[in-house]
């Protein structure tokens, strides 16, 4: 018994010591915390979703979910084959072209009306603060921070490790002109030695006027946040990029809720929506979309085209690695709900080309 207690004590001290590493970020404090407390989304000492959002859905238990995560083995959660990808030279792309390049999972690059955006970049090959614990799939790491051109605006949807990667941000720092993020997330960046003047922290339903022909809007999502022991001390959100000719919805991570229909009505529909479709489970459907809900959300948003993301790079759920794309494609073909686009990692998506098509690149891969 004494030996067990000593082991537990040493382990606890080791964990607490490791969590002092800068990668874990820092909780909001001071004037930033005072501002947070004024947010309509902040109640009872933390940020809240619009509607009640349990971490584990009704009919499931945290005990079973934890047991499955630690002990159960599920088939085909990682591909054996190399994920096909294309190395596009981003630095040589004419900045005048309206394009999007997906890097796998929820990382992507956008050029819109002469402005470069980078969203939730993870180029370290790992989706966890523990080195080597959640490695990216073979073939998905052909891009690095060095491949990025100068970035006008880095957009962060929330501070989870698979969306806000310390190693990547550290390497990208000299290239990033401005950071846009949810309330409180700026504390991480300031802790990582970013100039506070480069940080734009927003609540839901705010806007940043980039130029007369380009606006960034923030919008709700149904999710959660956290990098350490405490959750929901920073705000999660989605974004809308709007020009006179294009409206893009960048969904971040979100479970299904009424906000999709409300946003669709407010903006009168979208030309393209990016929605998380992967690393889901019925046991946590309140915080991640299931494939049928992806299509339901796309319909609510009134989007002309849909790009499903949050898949094909990291194993964070229990489903087969290719199930998200297989399922959402089959469901969409049955119902003909929207125009689905499925680029490979590195393919150029031309935002003004509504006729552009892509292959089912995941088919016939093990």
Integer Cα distance of 19 and 325 in angstroms: 36
Q: Report the chain's C-alpha Rg in angstroms.
A: 20
Q: Helices 259-267 and 291-301 meet at what angle, rounded to 10?
A: 30
Tell whether 22 is covered by a domain.
Answer: no
Beta strands in 243-360 (DSSP E): 247-250, 272-276, 305-309, 339-340, 348-350
Tell whether 357 is covered by a domain.
Answer: no
Integer Cα distance of 297 and 289 in angstroms: 9
Tell whether 306 is covered by a domain.
Answer: yes
Tell whether 210 is covered by a domain.
Answer: yes
Tokens in use for 307?
């790009």
What's the whole-model pTM score?
0.95
Tell whether 94 is covered by a domain.
Answer: yes
Structural domain of 121 = 28-350
Tell whether 244 is covered by a domain.
Answer: yes
Strand order in the sheet with 247-250: 207-211, 214-219, 238-242, 247-250, 272-276, 305-309, 339-340
How many domains does one find in the chain?
1
Minimal CA–CA distance to 219: which of 184, 262, 161, 273? 262
Beta strands in the chain (DSSP E): 42-43, 46-47, 99-102, 108-112, 115-119, 151-155, 176-182, 199-202, 207-211, 214-219, 238-242, 247-250, 272-276, 305-309, 339-340, 348-350
- Give the number of residues written for the chain: 366
Integer Cα distance of 327 and 317 in angstroms: 15
Report the CATH number that the domain containing residue 313 is assigned in CATH. 3.60.15.10
Tell whether 141 is covered by a domain.
Answer: yes
Cα separations (Å) of 294 from 48, 277, 281, 298?
22, 7, 13, 6
Tell whether 9 is covered by a domain.
Answer: no
Minimal CA–CA distance to 284: which of 224, 221, 204, 219? 224
The pLDDT profile of the chain, 366 residues, written as one tens digit per residue, is 665 545 455 544 555 566 678 999 999 999 999 999 999 999 999 999 999 999 999 888 888 888 887 788 899 999 999 999 999 999 999 999 999 999 999 999 999 999 999 999 999 999 999 888 899 999 999 999 999 999 999 999 999 999 999 999 999 999 999 999 999 999 999 999 999 999 999 999 999 999 999 999 999 999 999 998 789 999 999 999 999 999 999 999 999 999 999 999 999 999 999 999 999 999 999 999 999 999 999 999 999 999 999 999 999 999 999 999 999 999 999 987 799 999 999 999 999 999 999 999 999 999
Integer Cα distance of 333 and 335 in angstroms: 6
């Amino acid at each position: 018994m004494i030996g067990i207690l000593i082991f537990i004590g040493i382990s606890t001290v080791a964990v607490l010591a490791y969590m002092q590493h800068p990668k874990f970020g820092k909780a909001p404090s001071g004037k930033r915390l005072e501002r947070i407390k004024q947010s309509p989304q902040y109640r009872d000492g933390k940020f809240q979703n619009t509607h009640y959002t349990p971490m584990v859905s009704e009919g499931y238990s945290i005990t079973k979910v934890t047991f499955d995560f630690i002990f159960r083995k599920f088939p085909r959660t990682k591909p054996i084959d190399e994920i096909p990808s294309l190395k596009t030279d981003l630095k040589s792309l004419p900045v005048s072209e309206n394009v999007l390049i997906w890097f796998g999972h929820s990382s992507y690059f956008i050029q819109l009306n002469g402005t470069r955006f980078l969203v939730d970049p993870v180029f370290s090959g790992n989706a966890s603060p523990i080195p080597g614990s959640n490695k990216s799939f073979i073939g998905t790491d052909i891009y690095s921070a060095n491949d990025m051109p100068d970035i006008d605006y880095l957009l962060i949807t929330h501070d989870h490790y698979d969306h806000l990667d310390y190693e990547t941000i550290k390497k990208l720092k000299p290239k990033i002109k401005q950071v846009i993020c949810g309330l409180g997330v700026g504390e991480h960046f300031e802790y990582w030695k970013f100039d506070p003047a480069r940080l734009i922290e927003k609540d839901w339903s705010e806007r940043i006027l980039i130029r007369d022909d380009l606006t960034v809007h923030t919008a709700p999502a149904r999710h959660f946040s956290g990098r350490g022991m405490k959750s929901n001390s920073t705000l999660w959100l989605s974004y809308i990029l709007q020009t006179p000719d294009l409206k893009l919805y960048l969904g971040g991570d979100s479970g299904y809720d009424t906000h999709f229909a409300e946003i669709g009505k407010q903006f009168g529909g979208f030309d393209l929506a990016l929605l998380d479709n992967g690393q889901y489970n019925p046991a946590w459907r309140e915080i991640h979309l299931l494939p049928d809900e992806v299509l339901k959300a796309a319909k609510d948003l009134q989007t002309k085209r849909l790009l499903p993301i949050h898949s094909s790079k990291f194993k964070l759920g229990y489903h087969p690695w290719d199930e998200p794309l297989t399922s959402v494609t089959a469901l969409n073909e049955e119902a003909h709900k929207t125009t689905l686009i499925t680029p490979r990692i590195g393919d150029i998506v031309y935002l003004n080309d509504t006729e552009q098509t892509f292959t089912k690149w995941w088919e016939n891969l093990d």
